Amino acid sequence: MAGNSTARFANVSLLSVASALPGRVTTSDDIEDRLSSALSRLRLRSGLLRRVAGVVERRNWAAGESSDDAAVAAGRQALAESGVDASEIGLVINTSVSRKHLEPSVAVRLHHGLGMPSSAINFDIANACLGFVNGMSVAASMIESGQIRYALIVNGEDADEIQVNTIERLQREDVDRDQFMSEFASLTLGSGAAAAVLGRADEHPEGHRILGGVTRAATQFHELCVGSVDGMFTDAKALLKGGLDLVVSAWKEASTEWNWSTVDRYITHQVSSVHTNAIVKAVKLSKDKVPTTFPRLGNVGPASIPITLAEEQSTLNKGDRVLLMGVGSGLNTAMMEIAW
């Protein structure tokens, strides 16, 4: 493959991955109850979220909880499980879409909350739902170059405000069926946090080797999904087609250097049943190797891949091949192989 669209790492391992979930559960029935008048007016059958997206429930932050605090908690758990002390971390990357303000970075709050040393580089990487995988790739490159020994990738997502704003807007009498469906994806979002520690493979034979992967872009589709705390507006049909074409293209080009058809577990970005089924069919994956968390957690943005990996890790065996796969608004795709 040409250019910088493929990468291999010789001495980087994933040492731990952890998640922190909100304490409040919001069912799809709860959301549709609040939208009952709009659904009736637009002649949309109830059970839409479960039937179309396969999302039964998602998590939202309870009183006294926040995405930043949860990201810190996930970071602490990842550090504890890795056996790496905070004082040894040379890099903190926050990959959250959610943020309370434009500056300073979210990373500085997490750096402080985690008690990181002054010497630890810290910054945000924002790339929609691909942020966490991109953060892992950047950290792996810095470890491989010898610039740092350890990196902590952190993510905390807060879907609460966007859902409140979306539900309020969809109840207006002037919203038609097309407008409703353009905001449907906002109703599938969930909140959550995750973190991972990366280090040198030669110092951690117990770690899980990060072998490398590919990235690919189709930025002509950058207007198909545009979001803010006010709302997320999506051309779902065009987004799905563009995303599938991009994944298939990247998969085929990668096949000259990577054999991913026999991977033991595919950790995909969690969007919906439609998205997951389409990916499985498009690149001919074994569905029993594709775990899903979206039915009970919804789409947790860039946190969904590490959350799903954290849940699956107890079922993985040494030597298993794991492929992280994601598509992010924009459009971008990334695939990263880990030798467990």
Which residue is catalytic, options 129, 157, 183, 337? 129
**And the tokens for 119?**
């010497």
**And the tokens for 307?**
């959350």
CB-CB contact of 300 with 258 (8 Å) = no
**Is 225 in the active site?**
no
* CA distances to 85, 237, 251, 282, 317 from 285, in Å: 39, 22, 12, 8, 20
Q: How many residues does the chain have?
A: 340
**Is 103 in the active site?**
yes
Report the interhelical angle of 304-312 vs 131-144 (nearest 10°).
70
Residues 6+ apart with CB under 8 A from 220: none
Contacts of 285-294 spanning 24+ positions with Cβ under 8 A: 289/263, 289/264, 289/265, 290/266, 291/265, 291/267, 294/53, 294/54, 294/55, 294/188, 294/270
Distance CA 89, CA 194 (A): 17
CB-CB contact of 105 with 123 (8 Å) = yes
Closest CA to 329 of 97, 145, 143: 97
* CA distances to 119, 131, 141, 315 from 155, in Å: 21, 9, 19, 23
CB-CB contact of 325 with 247 (8 Å) = yes
Beta bridge partners of 135: none
CB-CB contact of 175 with 149 (8 Å) = no
Q: Which residues are catalytic?
A: 103, 129
